[in-house]
């Protein structure tokens, strides 16, 4: 069993991963500056698991605060979620994104080296595949990102690869997430975007809740079966299990390894709307709007590597994702 530091641990994916780690007997230490999450998540993790994770409200780029945490906790491994993730905001405030996402990573790596912590799992994104052709496999070319957020993921992958190349004791696992959605079945933790949601599922749940009167479907003239964009949505609880599998892998391997975490199945925007309606017995009003700049027609994962090497496979379907996302949103009303 390991003691695992989760940077960004009170966030959407971090909180679900903390639950899975605690359920499997690991210890979880959460570090978060609460810039995009709230302290009550720690209580909710305890409610779900019966175990209270240790929580540090710190900026992960604060060298002193992070060193204090490492001195007190001596984590065996780190899962690095902390960072900003809003694509549009990254175009408007690129320096803020490069500063936060790169600084947290560099400070973390230097601190890990100082305290002899040698395992790190990083939250990368399918966005690094840029202009490659789907299905994306781990050897598909990366780069060609359409926004600063994507470039931070690309750059951090290179920084981590370089660190592992220079120190052969390091174990780096890069997890490229496809489209994480859904929430814990308890309805206690989930995704809570501030302001107007950028992503499809939180927008749909806010329309369902009556917070917004309709959904804009960004384009119905793509070369896809129904003309709307196709994505590989993955339930956040499946994603969390993928992190536990990656942690086990990192225990017995060094160097850098990359895994896609997706389902391998594509779902269009219209299919998602209808699945949500079926799963929850609701109607989602929508209008067809112009394409969103920077969007791809298709994105989905080749998933064989994670299945073969991590022995992990996503299990939940689109209806599960819709039902659980709605249960969490209802809890906010
Ligand atoms: P999130 O915003 O819910 O979680 C990130 C957490 O990091 C937040 O709680 C925030 O407060 C914290 N944070 C940010 N900067 C920090 C800093 N300097 N110090 C300490 N804490 C800091 O996002 P999420 O959806 O849980 O995503 C987690 C990671 O996965 C991010 O790195 C994100 O880029 C990546 N990712 C997310 C998606 C997605 O669609 N959700 C897709 C691919 C990759
Ligand atoms: C977006 C980001 C991507 C990031 C990912 C995280 C952009 C251009 N890309 O990807 O970098 O890694 O989120 O999950 O922002 N849609 C609508 N109406 C809406 C919202 C979305 O029709 O109100 C459509 C989109 O056009 C797309 C699909 O729904 O076809 C999914 O969109 P979204 O959830 O934003 O995810 P991505 O576009 O894959």
User: Which of 234, 233, 225, 229 minimizes the C-alpha distance to 294?
Assistant: 229
Could you tell me if residue 100 is inside a domain? yes
Could you tell me if residue 329 is inside a domain? no
Give the C-alpha separation, 107 to 240, whole Å: 24
Give the C-alpha separation, 170 to 116, whole Å: 10
Instruction: Read off the pLDDT band of 333 (50, 70, 90).
Output: confident
User: Which of 217, 330, 194 minimizes the C-alpha distance to 284?
Assistant: 217
User: Which of 89, 42, 82 minimizes the C-alpha distance to 197?
Assistant: 89
**Mean pLDDT, all residues of the chain:** 97
Q: Which of 35, 99, 120 for mutating ligand 1's site (highest number of atoms within 8 Å of CB)? A: 35
Per-residue pLDDT tens digits for 99-150: 999 999 999 999 999 999 999 999 999 999 997 889 999 999 999 999 999 9
Q: Is the pLDDT at 209 greater than 90, yes or no? A: yes
Q: Is the pLDDT at 303 greater than 90, yes or no? A: yes
What's the CATH code of the domain at 255? Answer: 3.40.50.720
Could you tell me if residue 29 is inside a domain? yes
Residue ID of nearest Cα to ligand 1 atom 34:
85
Task: Write down the pTM of the prediction.
Answer: 0.98
Mind telling me the catalytic residues?
Answer: 149
Q: Cα angle vertex 311, ends 307, 313, to 5°?
A: 55
The predicted structure's pLDDT at residue 15: 98
Could you tell me if residue 169 is inside a domain? yes
Could you tell me if residue 199 is inside a domain? no
Residue ID of nearest Cα to ligand 2 atom 27:
229
The predicted structure's pLDDT at residue 133: 87
H helices, E strands: number in the chain: 11, 13
Section 286-306 average pLDDT = 95
For the chain, what is the domain count?
1
For CA atoms 303, 304, 308, 313, the dihedral sign is: positive
Are 61 and 101 within 8 A, CB to CB?
no
Could you tell me if residue 107 is inside a domain? yes
Per-residue pLDDT tens digits for 161-206: 999 999 999 999 999 999 999 999 999 999 988 889 999 999 999 9
Q: Could you tell me if the CB of 138 is within 6 A of ligand 1?
A: no
Could you tell me if residue 274 is inside a domain? no
Section 264-276 average pLDDT = 98
Atom of ligand 1 nearest to the CA of 60: 19
Residue numbers of the domain that contains 137: 3-181+234-262
Spacing, Cα 230 to ligand 2 middle (Å): 10
Coil vs helix vs strand at 10: coil
Residue ID of nearest Cα to ligand 1 atom 43:
125
Could you tell me if residue 283 is inside a domain? no
Q: Could you tell me if the CB of 200 is within 6 A of ligand 2?
A: yes
Section 5-13 average pLDDT = 98
Q: Could you tell me if the CB of 237 is within 6 A of ligand 1?
A: no
Per-residue pLDDT tens digits for 38-87: 999 999 999 999 999 999 999 999 999 999 999 999 999 999 999 999 99
């Amino acid at each position: 069993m390991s003691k695992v530091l989760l940077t960004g641990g009170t966030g959407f994916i971090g909180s679900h991963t903390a639950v899975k780690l605690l359920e499997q007997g690991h210890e979880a230490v959460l570090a978060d500056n609460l810039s995009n999450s709230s302290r009550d998540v720690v209580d909710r993790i305890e409610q779900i698991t019966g175990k209270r994770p240790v929580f540090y409200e710190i900026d992960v780029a604060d060298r002193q605060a992070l060193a204090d945490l490492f001195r007190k906790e001596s984590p065996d491994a780190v899962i690095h979620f902390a960072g900003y993730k809003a694509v549009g905001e990254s175009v408007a405030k690129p320096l803020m994104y490069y500063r936060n996402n790169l600084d947290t990573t560099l400070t973390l790596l230097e601190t890990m080296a100082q305290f002899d912590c040698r395992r790190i799992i990083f939250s990368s994104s399918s966005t690094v595949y840029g202009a490659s052709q789907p299905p994306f496999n781990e050897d598909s070319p990366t780069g060609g990102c359409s926004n600063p957020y994507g470039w931070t993921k690309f750059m951090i992958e290179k920084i981590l690869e370089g660190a592992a190349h220079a120190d052969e004791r390091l174990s780096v696992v890069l997890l490229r997430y496809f489209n994480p959605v859904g929430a814990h079945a308890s309805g206690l933790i989930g995704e809570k975007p501030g302001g107007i949601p950028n992503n499809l599922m939180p927008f749909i749940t806010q329309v369902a809740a009556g917070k917004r009167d309709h959904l804009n479907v960004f384009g119905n003239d793509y070369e896809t079966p129904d003309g709307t964009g196709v994505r590989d949505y993955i339930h956040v609880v499946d994603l969390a299990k993928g992190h536990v599998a990656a942690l086990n892998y990192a225990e017995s391997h060094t160097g850098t390894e990359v895994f896609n975490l997706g389902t391998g199945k594509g779902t269009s925007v219209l299919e998602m709307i209808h699945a949500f309606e079926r799963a929850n017995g609701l109607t989602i009003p929508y209008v067809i709007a112009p394409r969103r700049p920077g969007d791809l027609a298709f994105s989905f994962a080749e998933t064989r590597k994670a299945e073969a090497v991590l022995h992990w496979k996503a299990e939940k379907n689109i209806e599960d994702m819709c039902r659980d996302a709605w249960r969490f949103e209802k809890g906010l009303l």
